[in-house]
Structures are given as structure tokens and as C-alpha cells.
């Protein structure tokens, strides 16, 4: 249930409510806004519980939550805005995250990082640990890749997003990355999700290839209930009977997540389609659907990419996409929160 406190309520009354909730064996989560405080209570509730807390001074109303996800629900909080190095996700602006699928070396990565920044990217992406279908495929540069990502972040001033696959690697990845990504294959790795709840950095949660909307949100609930409210949802396509595209990009997920939760949602049209020709139209469609950001794979020479070349844009095609996004954002009244574009 959600307990909404009155405007400008005395802090002692807030503490009293929390104390009584703990006495009733509820897990307590506090969300304090400018004027109002909302207290989330997770546990088995009864009608008596609702009646009890409505009688406490300072309580405006008690709202039961019928959804299985409590802390991610819209009832608990209106909107989450995540800020990383001055860049905002979920604040009404459009964020663009760009870079190659995998880090392939210092020189190549710094080059593409500067190119996507010049085009207006807000954040950098790149895989240091790569979960691959085949055990014989390139698995990533691992620690060396993390160091390259951190170096690129210093050079460009842009935050870095990279995937963490194993709870044993969590502290190491968090040392170098600004946003920790949970890949589609790990969406229901609950041990990893719980550990991410103990890390004070934003987590990007990709939708699993066969996950329902509810399963995806419940995975976010694991992270939030473990102590980390900074979750970004990422739609990257689901598995269907269609074989022409790599996945079926479910753009209906964007307004659904916005309706059910307070979490920002981004779209990955690169993995969602697997074909570079489809990235731009699906990226534009995702913006029309109301997403908070896009994740785009960019490589200097996709034919030589160590992974996912067929879905990667060249820097020139990425620049063309950014120009179209500028136009579309202006038409929709959305601010495109790009990086500092190069002069000229």
C-alpha cells in the first residue's frame, strides 16, 4: 500500500508512520518530494491496516496497490528522473546513447566516441563483457575494455553504459561505468538483480527475449526493493515467429511502461531489428511512441565489426539519424538532449 502524507507534514509524523509500519512487519520505502512525502509499504496488508493508518495524524490518504509490482508502480511515484554527469533520463528530454556493440581497442573506440559526440550523442555505449550465443564467438576485452570505456568518458565528458553479467564482476564494472546494463539474457538473473540493488549507480534493465511486460517490471522490482530506485527500462525486441528481423521490436511497450510505472524507458532499435536499414525508421517511431531515449550501435566500418556489424550504423548514417531526430523532436516539442556538437 501507499501512504500519502499531507503537504509540509511534520517530519516526526513521517517517522511515526514508518515506525508503525515496521511494527506491522512491512518493508518501508520513503519517497520525498518538494511538498509531499509518499511512504511505500510492501507486505501482506489487511483492511484493518488501511483503516489504522488512515487515522494517524498527518496522513492524507492510504492507497492500496493491486499490481504485483509495488515500488515500480505509478501509484508509488509519478516520475523517476535519473541524472548522470549532468545528463538526464526521464525528465522530458530525449537521450541518445551510441557506440559500438563491443570495445575493440583504445584507438578505435576513442575515434568512434568522438564521432558520436560530435553528432550529438548524450552517452556512450560499448560492451566489455559480451554474452554470445556461441562460446566460440568474441567474448569481449573484459577489464581492458572497461579501462578503455573509462578513458573515453574522460576524453569526451560523456557517461558510459556497459553490461555486467556476473555478480562477481559487479564492483569492478561499477568502478569504470556510469550506468550498469543488465542484458536480455540476464533479465531474470535474480541474484544479479538483488546485488545491483545494493549499488548506488543507475541500472539499465533490458527486456528478456520472451519476457512479458509484467515479468520485465517485476525484474525491475527486484532491483528497487533491494535498495536501488535508479532503474531504466530498455525495450530491445522480443522473440516471435518472424524470422526476417533479429527480434520483433515491441514499441507498444513504451506507452505501457509509462502508464504502469514511474521509470524512464528507452528503445534499442539496433538489437530490436538486427538490420541497419531499419534502425532509423524504428528509432523515429520509438520517439513518436514517447520513449525517453534511444540506444544506437555505431561502428566506423560495420563490415569489420567484431560483433553485430549488420545492425550498426556508420558515423555518417548516425549523423543523418541525429538530424532527423532534431527535426522530429522539434515537431513534437521534445528537447533532444545531445552532447556538445562539434563546431561547423
Q: Kindly report the three-state secondary structure assignment for every residue of 141-204.
A: CCHHHHHHHHHHHHHHCCCEEEECCCHHHHHHHHHHCCEEEECHHHCCCHHHHHHHCCCCCCEE
Q: Is the pLDDT of residue 139 over 70?
A: no
* SS3 (DSSP) at 270: helix
Closest CA to 98 of 289, 325, 255: 325
* Bridge partners, residue 206, by sequence: 234
Q: Which three cell numbers stand for residue 75?
A: 501509484
Tell me the fold of 82-336.
TIM Barrel (3.20.20)
pLDDT tens-digit profile of 170-218? 999 999 999 999 999 999 999 999 999 999 999 999 999 999 999 999 9
pLDDT digit string (tens) for 258-291? 999 999 999 999 999 999 999 999 999 999 999 9
pLDDT of 342 over the 60 cut: no
pLDDT at 338: 60
pTM to 2 decimals? 0.88
Exposure string (b/e) for 122-143, b if CB count within 10 Å is 16 or more? Answer: bbbbbbbbbeeeeeeeebbbee
| Cα(34)–Cα(321) distance, integer angstroms | 38
> Considering the chain, what percentage of its residues have pLDDT values greater than 70?
95
Q: Are 118 and 342 in contact (CB under 8 A)?
A: yes
Q: Outline where the chain has alpha helix (H).
A: 11-23, 47-54, 106-119, 143-156, 170-176, 190-196, 213-225, 253-260, 269-273, 276-289, 315-332
Domain residues of the chain, as ranges?
2-63, 82-336
Mean pLDDT over each residue of the chain, to the nearest integer? 92
Q: What is the percent of the chain where pLDDT is above 90?
A: 76
Which CATH number fits the domain 2-63, given the four candidates 3.40.50.720, 3.30.70.1140, 1.10.3470.10, 1.10.357.10?
A: 3.30.70.1140
Average pLDDT estimate for 154-174: 95
Cβ–Cβ under 8 Å, residues 139 and 129: yes
More confident residue, 281 or 306: 281
Which residue, among 61, 75, 66, 60, has the nearest Cα to 29 in the 3D structure?
75
What is the per-residue pLDDT for 339? 47
Comparing 93-102, 122-131, 257-266, 297-306, the range with the smallest average pLDDT is 122-131
246 DSSP assignment:
S
Please tell me the least confidently modeled range out of 18-32, 161-175, 328-342.
328-342
**pLDDT category of residue 138 using cuts at 50, 70 and 90:** low
Average pLDDT over residues 65-75: 88
Average pLDDT over residues 123-150: 81
- Rounded Cα distance between 5 and 56, Å, is 10
- Structure confidence at residue 337 (pLDDT): 79
Residue pair 87/159 in contact (Cβ under 8 Å)? The answer is yes
Count Cα neighbours of 341 within 13 Å in the Cβ-side half-sphere.
12
Tell me the per-residue pLDDT of 4-53, one tens digit each, with 9 for 90 and over: 999 889 999 999 999 999 998 888 988 887 777 889 888 877 778 778 88
The pLDDT assigned to 32 comes to: 80
Distance CA 326, CA 191 (A): 40
Amino acid at each position: 500500500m501507499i501512504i500519502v502524507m499531507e503537504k509540509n507534514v511534520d517530519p516526526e509524523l513521517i517517522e511515526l508512520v514508518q515506525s508503525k509500519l515496521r511494527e506491522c512487519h512491512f518493508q518501508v520505502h520513503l519517497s520525498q518530494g518538494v511538498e509531499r512525502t509518499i511512504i511505500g509499504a510492501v507486505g501482506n496488508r489487511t483492511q484493518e491496516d488501511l483503516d489504522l493508518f488512515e487515522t494517524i495524524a498527518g496522513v492524507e490518504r492510504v492507497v492500496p496497490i493491486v499490481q504485483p509490482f509495488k515500488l515500480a508502480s505509478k501509484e508509488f511515484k509519478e516520475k523517476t528522473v535519473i541524472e548522470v554527469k549532468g545528463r538526464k533520463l526521464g525528465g522530458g528530454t530525449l537521450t541518445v546513447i551510441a557506440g559500438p556493440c563491443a570495445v575493440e581497442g583504445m584507438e578505435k573506440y576513442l575515434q568512434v566516441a568522438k564521432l558520436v559526440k560530435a553528432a550529438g550523442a548524450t552517452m556512450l555505449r560499448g560492451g566489455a563483457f559480451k554474452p554470445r550465443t556461441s562460446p566460440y564467438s568474441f567474448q569481449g576485452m573484459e577489464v581492458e575494455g572497461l579501462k578503455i570505456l573509462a578513458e573515453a568518458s574522460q576524453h569526451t565528458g560523456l557517461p558510459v553504459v556497459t553490461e555486467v553479467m556476473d555478480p562477481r564482476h559487479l564492483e569492478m564494472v561499477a568502478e569504470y561505468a556510469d550506468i550498469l546494463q543488465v542484458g536480455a539474457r540476464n533479465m531474470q538473473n535474480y541474484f544479479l538483480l538483488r546485488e545491483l540493488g545494493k549499488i548506488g549507480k543507475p541500472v539499465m534493465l533490458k527486456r528478456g527475449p520472451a519476457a512479458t511486460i509484467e515479468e520485465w517490471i517485476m525484474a525491475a522490482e527486484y532491483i528497487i526493493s533491494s535498495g536501488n530506485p535508479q532503474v531504466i527500462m530498455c525495450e530491445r525486441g522480443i522473440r516471435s515467429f518472424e524470422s526476417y528481423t533479429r527480434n520483433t521490436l515491441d514499441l507498444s511497450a513504451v506507452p505501457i511502461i509509462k502508464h504502469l510505472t514511474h521509470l524512464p524507458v528507452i528503445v534499442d532499435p539496433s538489437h530490436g531489428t538486427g538490420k541497419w536499414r531499419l534502425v532509423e525508421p524504428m528509432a523515429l517511431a520509438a520517439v513518436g511512441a514517447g520513449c525517453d531515449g534511444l540506444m544506437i550501435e555505431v561502428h566506423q566500418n560495420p563490415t569489420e565489426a567484431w560483433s553485430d556489424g549488420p545492425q550498426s550504423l556508420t558515423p555518417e548514417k548516425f549523423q543523418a539519424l541525429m538530424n532527423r531526430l532534431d527535426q522530429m523532436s522539434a515537431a513534437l516539442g521534445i528537447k533532444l538532449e545531445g552532447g556538445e556538437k562539434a563546431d561547423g
